[in-house]
């Protein structure tokens, strides 16, 4: 009789004590961006947060924690309670760091759960306004004539703009000094001011600078010309055959986060990024949504870690 009573009480207990996955989100959700404010990860984290709050019934608050090549903010998320209330906005900086930073305190696919990719975009190759080049071919010729004399900027060691520049140098067979900055904003100020020679950067950020002559647009980094800058060839068209580079963003959560939370967040983000309003806005920014399931995102990350490792080793890229 006592056993029957206990068994009968189990459903009631389950209803009275819902799991943290069922209750999610029960308070504001933090999206940690391990990069400086103003860059793509920061911008799109805020766009997502604005949409996810009403969608899921709790505020999504973006918190920038830059430093250490994205390690500081990333490690903070790895150590957070795995209940879905602390998320990481990550990029291919993280897949590069798996090779570039062997002593980081976390391992990406051990200490995090892949939740959902967000979007992907190609770069613009730009030069300072007074650099004596007007094409990719002329930039390469100048670098070959003056080995080690030119330099290129990036938003920091291991960032997509760093990898894009190093990969370009390797494939073009040129020696150029890398100048890392503490964020995209500082790098852009430097190239507009003429203190660095060239860099890869966001197409949308640089369109007006190219059109106004503040920088020189030389090429874009995709497999086809950008609809926003159709007058510029791709780097591959311009002579570095087979060259491509991009920046993509995604969301991960601490290992141990319930699968139901990851699935619910994946569905919510996918609805936001594939909505007609978002697609229209992003098309004007040369950005494409990248919807995948958590399992597909994991497979994507595994391959990108491997692909990045091959590029980093072939080009002898260093973290600083």
pLDDT digit string, tens, across residues 246-291: 999 999 999 999 999 999 999 999 999 999 999 999 999 999 999 9
Q: With 70 as the cut, is the pLDDT of residue 98 above it?
A: yes
Q: Which residues contact 132 (CB under 8 A, 6 or more apart)?
A: 138, 142
Mean pLDDT of 88-100: 96
pLDDT in the model for residue 22: 58
Pairing of strands 198-202, 112-127: antiparallel
Residue 182 pLDDT grade (very low, low, confident, very high; cuts 50, 70, 90)? confident
Which 8-state DSSP code applies to residue 117?
E
Residue 318 pLDDT grade (very low, low, confident, very high; cuts 50, 70, 90)? confident
Mean pLDDT of 163-191: 94
Contact 44, 249 (CB under 8 A): yes
Mean pLDDT of 33-38: 92
> Closest Cα partner for 160 from 123, 205, 207?
123
Average pLDDT over the chain, rounded to an integer: 92
Contact 116, 300 (CB under 8 A): no
- H-run or E-run covering 41: helix 40-56
Q: Which residues contact 177 (CB under 8 A, 6 or more apart)?
A: 148, 150, 151, 152
> Which residues of the chain are in CATH 3.40.190.150 domains?
28-120+246-314
Phi/psi at 248 (nearest 5 deg)?
-130, 155
pTM value is: 0.86
CATH of domain 122-220: 3.40.190.10
To the nearest 10 degrees (0 to 180), the angle between helices 136-145 and 160-172 is: 70
Q: How far apart are the first and last CA of the chain?
A: 71
pLDDT in the model for residue 7: 43
Q: With 60 as the cut, is the pLDDT of residue 9 above it?
A: no
Q: With 80 as the cut, is the pLDDT of residue 4 above it?
A: no
Mean pLDDT of 5-34: 66
Select the more confidently predicted residue: 230 or 23.
230
Phi-psi region of 274 (alpha: psi -120 to 50; beta: other; left: phi over 0): alpha
> Which residues of the chain are in CATH 3.40.190.10 domains?
122-220
Q: With 90 as the cut, is the pLDDT of residue 80 above it?
A: yes
Select the more confidently predicted residue: 15 or 75.
75
pLDDT in the model for residue 65: 96
Mean pLDDT of 56-75: 96
Q: With 80 as the cut, is the pLDDT of residue 1 above it?
A: no
Four-way CATH pick for 28-120+246-314: 3.40.190.150, 1.10.630.10, 3.40.50.920, 3.90.120.10: 3.40.190.150
Residue 2 pLDDT grade (very low, low, confident, very high; cuts 50, 70, 90)? very low
């Amino acid at each position: 009789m006592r056993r029957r009573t206990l068994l009968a009480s189990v459903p009631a207990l389950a209803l009275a004590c819902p799991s943290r996955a069922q209750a999610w989100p029960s308070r504001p959700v933090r999206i940690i961006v391990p990069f400086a404010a103003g860059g793509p990860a920061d911008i799109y984290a805020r766009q997502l947060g604005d949409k996810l709050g009403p969608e899921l019934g709790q505020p999504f608050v973006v918190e920038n924690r830059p430093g250490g090549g994205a390690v500081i903010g990333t490690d903070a998320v790895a150590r957070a309670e795995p209940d879905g209330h602390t998320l990481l906005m990550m990029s291919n900086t993280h897949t590069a760091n798996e090779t570039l930073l062997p002593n980081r305190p976390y391992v990406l696919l051990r200490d995090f759960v892949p939740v959902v990719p967000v979007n992907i975009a190609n770069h613009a190759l730009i030069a300072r306004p007074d650099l004596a080049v007007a094409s990719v071919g002329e930039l390469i010729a100048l670098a070959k004539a003056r080995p080690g004399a030119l330099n290129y900027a990036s938003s920091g060691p291991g960032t997509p703009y760093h990898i894009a520049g190093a990969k370009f140098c390797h494939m073009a067979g040129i020696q150029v000094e890398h100048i890392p900055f503490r964020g995209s904003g500082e790098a852009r100020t430097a190239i507009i001011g003429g203190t660095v020679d060239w860099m890869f950067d966001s197409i949308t950020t640089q369109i007006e600078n190219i059109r106004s002559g503040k920088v020189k647009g030389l090429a874009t980094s995709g497999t086809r010309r950008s609809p926003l800058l159709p007058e510029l060839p791709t780097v591959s068209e311009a002579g570095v055959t087979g060259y491509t580079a991009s920046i993509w963003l995604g969301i991960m959560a601490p290992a141990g986060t319930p699968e139901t939370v990851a699935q619910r967040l994946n569905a919510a983000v996918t609805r936001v990024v594939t909505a007609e309003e978002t697609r229209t806005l992003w098309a004007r920014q040369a950005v494409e949504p990248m919807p995948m399931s958590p399992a597909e995102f994991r497979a994507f990350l595994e391959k990108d870690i491997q692909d990045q490792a091959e590029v980093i080793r072939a080009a002898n890229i260093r973290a600083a």
